[in-house]
Chain A
Amino acid sequence: AQSVSQHNHHVILSEAASLELGCNYSYGGTVNLFWYVQYPGQHLQLLLKYFSGDPLVKGIKGFEAEFIKSKFSFNLRKPSVQWSDTAEYFCAVNAAGGYQKVTFGTGTKLQVIP
């Protein structure tokens, strides 16, 4: 079974700072990778996803993530955060091919200070 680790539980940044949220997964086979975001009072929504091809994936709102297979990592990055990026971010993984349930990490709460 796969598992996901998000090492940062709470991150506080000032506006315009650069962001990198760590995500490591555990699974020996081919995977699909996701980042979801939950803004305050809103439901979870997909930020970006990786299935195959270019390991650098670009998502909405200027976010990107890089899949590094050798490190089993899929870190989320943004060069300059805004106050509106304050949210909780969840990394998720599932085994590629057919139905495989998605396993989520415990989430990272990002607080951006104006």
Chain B
Amino acid sequence: GAGVSQSPSNKVTEKGKDVELRCDPISGHTALYWYRQSLGQGLEFLIYFQGNSAPDKSGLPSDRFSAERTGGSVSTLTIQRTQQEDSAVYLCASSLGSGNVGGYTFGSGTRLTVV
């Protein structure tokens, strides 16, 4: 597609429920990133996928968070047993390759609210 597409745009969930967030990167972009943006916190790196290589999961805050990327394209970020501190905007970005030569292209994000 023309840009990075994320769904849903907004998600309200009850504490303890699981949620899935979806990211559809730009066609041809081999690198895909998930970040979390909390109020006053900047952007927090979560996970990175590059082609068929093992993902860099070093930013995942707990084992309740996991992500998959199927077929080198669409990615799903799953948060299990959501907590109120998980409330944030979850951003997906893609780029042409691992060197970030062109910089990232971001999606519009999923605003997650845990009540």
Contact of A98 among B42, B93, B99 (CB under 8 A): B99
Q: Are A51 and B101 in contact (CB under 8 A)?
A: yes
CA distance A90 to B35 in the complex (A): 14
Q: Let me know if A45 is at the binding interface, CB within 8 A.
A: yes
Residues on A with beta carbons closer than 8 Å to the beta carbon of B58:
101
Q: Say yes or no for A94: interface residue by CB 8 A criterion.
A: yes
What are 22 A-to-B residue pairs whose CB atoms are below 8 Å? A32-B100, A36-B103, A36-B106, A43-B91, A43-B107, A44-B91, A44-B93, A44-B104, A45-B105, A46-B105, A90-B42, A94-B100, A97-B99, A98-B99, A99-B31, A99-B50, A101-B45, A102-B33, A102-B45, A106-B41, A106-B42, A107-B42
Contact of A105 with B107 in the complex, beta carbons under 8 Å:
no
B48 within 8 A of A: yes
Complex Cα distance, B91 from A10, in Å, reads 22
Q: Which range holds the interface residue count of chain B?
A: 20 to 34
Q: Decide: B106 and A45 in contact? CB cutoff 8 A.
A: yes
Q: Tell me which residues across on chain A come within 8 A of B45, comparing CB atoms.
A: 101-103
Which chain B residues lie closer than 8 Å to A104 at the CB level? 35, 42-43
CB within 8 Å for A46 and B108 given contacts A98-B99, A104-B43, A106-B42: no
Number of A residues contacting the other chain (C-beta, 8 Å)? 25
Instruction: Knowing that A43-B91, A51-B101, A101-B58 touch, tell me 8 more A-B residue pairs with CB under 8 angstroms.
Output: A9-B40, A34-B103, A42-B108, A43-B109, A46-B105, A90-B42, A90-B43, A105-B42
What is the CA–CA distance of A100 and B95 in the complex, to the nearest angstrom? Answer: 13
**B residues less than 8 Å from A9 (CB atoms):** 40
In this complex, what residue of B is CB-closest to A106? Answer: B42
In the bound complex, do residue B109 and residue A102 qualify as a contact, i.e. CB atoms below 8 Å apart? no
- The docked-state distance in angstroms from the alpha carbon of A109 to that of B93 is 22
Looking across the interface, which residue of chain B has its beta carbon closest to that of A48? Answer: B103
